[in-house]
Amino acid sequence: MATTADIKNGLTIEFNGKLYQIVYFQHVKPGKGPAFVRTKLKSLDNGRVIDNTFTAGAKINPVRIERRPYQYLYKDDMGYIFMHLETYEQITMIESLIEGVEFLKEGQEVEIVFHAELETALSCELPPFIVAEVTYTEPGLKGDTSTNALKPATIETGSSIMVPLFIEIGEKIKVDTRTKEYVERAK
């Protein structure tokens, strides 16, 4: 059993019977009254972020998790199939456990988060940036660049994102998988 003094960003705890990851914490010592720890907790079940305040010294239950490298193979009617890069063991995950599933490409390396004691997959995280080819976009008009004008484009994964007017079909672009936004042209 740990206490609130052991809280740090990224720590996974069991809270109200569910698993949460600490996204943000702040130790507060008001001039009057006892100290407390204000936290933002991200649910590993559904990704929602909740606010919670612990009194200083309260007991928390940390959970050991592991991040393991996997490669995405294919999708079938059971879910998404991934292969461990070292043991070649294959696992199936449902779509709701994969963050940014619309950017998943065959052969892409991902990290799957496992509950270390129960050996169950909790979530799948894509790399922060991917390089994808633009498969369709309308041509940009010359002289239409007085502001940061954007147009819709479809990338090879089938996802649609907003790109600048100068991007053409066949170009490779860098996409942020967390914000689902265009970053730059890929080199």
Strands (E), the chain: 2-3, 12-15, 18-28, 36-43, 49-55, 59-62, 65-76, 79-84, 90-93, 98-99, 109-115, 120-125, 129-137, 150-155, 160-164, 172-176, 181-185
What fold is seen in the domain 65-125?
OB fold (Dihydrolipoamide Acetyltransferase, E2P) (2.40.50)
151 touches 139 (CB < 8 A): no
What fold is seen in the domain 2-62?
SH3 type barrels. (2.30.30)
Domain residue ranges of the chain, discontinuous segments joined by +: 2-62, 65-125, 130-185
Q: What is the mean pLDDT of residues 101-105?
A: 90
2-62 matches 130-185 in fold: no
Strands 12-15 and 2-3 turn out to be unpaired
User: Which tokens go with 177?
Assistant: 């998988």
Encode burial over 104-131: b for 16+ CB neighbours within 10 A, e otherwise. Answer: beeebebebbbbeeeeebbbbebeeebe
Tell me which CATH code domain 130-185 carries.
2.40.50.140
Per-residue pLDDT, 100: 84
The Cα–Cα gap between 110 and 71 comes to 6
- pLDDT by residue (tens digit) across 74-88? 999 989 999 999 999
Please tell me the pTM assigned to this model: 0.75
Per-residue pLDDT, 25: 93
When the pLDDT of each residue in the chain is averaged and rounded to a whole number, the result is 88
